[in-house]
Structure 1
Amino acid sequence: MKKIITLFAFVSFLAISGCSSSDDFDEDDDTYPYAFEITDNLGRVADNEYNIRSTFRFEINENLRDDETVLIYRLVDLIDSNTPIWQLIPRTIYFSNGEELDYDYDFSKVDFVITARGTYNLLDTPGYINNQTFRIVLIPSYLASSMDTSNYVEVMNTLKLSENKIKKIKL
Structure 2
Amino acid sequence: MKRILTFIFAITLLNSCTTEEIVQVQNNDFVSSAFEIVVDFNAANNYEFIEPYGFNVFPSDVTLVYILWDTINGQDVWRLVPQTVIFDNGDDLVYNFDFTQDDVRFFLEGSDLDNVDDIWTQNQVFRVVVVPADNVGRVDNSDINVVMQRHGITSFPRR
Q: Same fold (TM over 0.5)?
A: yes
In structure 1, the residue matched to 2:58 is 65
Aligned-partner residue type, residue 168 of structure 1: R
Distance 1:43 1:112 in 2: 18
Residues 79 and 85 in structure 1, CA contact (< 8 A), matched pair in contact too = yes
Does the residue aligned with 1:168 lie in a helix, a strand or coil?
Answer: coil
1:55 aligns with 2:52: yes
| Change beyond 3 A, Cα 1:108–1:88 | same
In structure 2, the residue matched to 1:16 is none
1:110 aligns with 2:102: yes
In structure 1, the residue matched to 2:142 is 150
TM-score by length of 2: 0.76
Instruction: Detail structure 1 runs of 4+ shifted over 4 Å in the superposition.
Output: 26-30
Q: Structure 1: where are the runs of 5+ without partners?
A: 1-25
Q: Structure 2: where are the runs of 5+ without partners?
A: 1-5, 14-23, 25-30
1:132 aligns with 2:137: no
Rg bigger for which structure? 1
Q: Percent identity?
A: 24
What pairs with 1:5-154 in structure 2 (closer than 5 Å)? 28=9, 31=24, 32-44=31-43, 50-57=47-54, 60=55, 62=56, 64-81=57-74, 83-154=75-146
Describe the superposition over 1:110-145 as per-residue Cα deviations: whole angstroms up to 9, x where unpaired.
Answer: 122100111113443211110110000011112221
TM-aligned CA deviation for residue 45 of structure 1: 5.5
Describe the superposition over 1:23-73 as per-residue Cα deviations: whole angstroms up to 9, x where unpaired.
Answer: xxx664653211100013124268xx511112222xx2x2x1122110000
Distance 1:45 1:149 in 2: 32
What is the CA RMSD across the aligned residues, in angstroms? Answer: 2.0
TM-score by length of 1: 0.71
Aligned residue pairs, count: 135
